[in-house]
Amino acid sequence: MFGIDLMTSVYEGKVNINKFINKLPIGSCEICPALGEDAAVISLDKESKYILVHSDPITEASLEPGYLSVVVACNDINMKGGYCKWISTTILLPRLEDLDRVIDGIKEACNILKCSVIGGHTEVTSTVKSPIVVTTAFSTVNKYLSYRNVKEGDYIVQVSSIGIEGAWILATEFKELLINRGIKKEIIENIRKNYKYEIIDQIKAEKIWEYSKAMHDITDGGIWQSLYEISNALNRKLIVYKENIIIREEIREIVNRLGINPYLFISSGSFIVITDKPEAILNTIKESAIIGKVGEEREAEVFVSGEGKINEDDLHEELARFESSYNEWRQR
Structural contact between residues 42 and 27, judged by C-beta atoms closer than 8 angstroms: no
Of the pLDDT bands very low, low, confident and very high (cuts 50, 70, 90), residue 332 is very low
pLDDT digits (tens, 9 = 90+) for 171-228: 999 999 999 999 999 999 999 999 999 999 999 999 999 999 999 999 999 999 999 9
The total of other beta-carbon atoms located within 10 Å of residue 243's CB is 9
| One CATH from 3.30.565.10, 3.30.470.20, 1.10.3720.10, 3.30.1330.10 for 13-141 | 3.30.1330.10
H-run or E-run covering 233: helix 222-234
pLDDT digits (tens, 9 = 90+) for 282-295: 999 999 999 999 99
Fold held by 147-331: Phosphoribosyl-aminoimidazole Synthetase; Chain A, domain 2 (3.90.650)
pLDDT tens across 257-275, in order? Answer: 999 999 999 999 999 999 9
Using alpha carbons only, how large is the chain's radius of gyration in Å?
21
pLDDT of 297 higher than 50: yes
Q: Categorize the per-residue pLDDT at 12 as very low, low, confident or very high, splitting at 50, 70 and 90.
A: confident
Map residue 168 onto helix, strand or coil: helix
Helices (H) and strands (E) in the chain, counts: 11, 12
- Confidence at residue 38, expressed as pLDDT on a 0 to 100 scale: 72
Whole-number pLDDT of residue 328: 54
In this prediction, residue 63 carries a pLDDT of: 79
Q: What is the DSSP string of 283-313?
A: HH-SSEEEEEEE-S--S-EEEETTTEEPPGG
Domain limits, CATH 3.30.1330.10, in the chain: 13-141
List the one residue out of 262, 85, 306, 70 whose CA is nearest residue 158.
Answer: 262
pLDDT of residue 2: 37
In sequence order, which residues have a C-beta less than 8 Å from that of residue 321 and are 6 or more positions away? none
Boundaries of CATH 3.90.650.10 in the chain?
Answer: 147-331
Q: 49-83: per-residue pLDDT in tens? A: 899 999 999 987 677 999 999 999 999 999 999 99
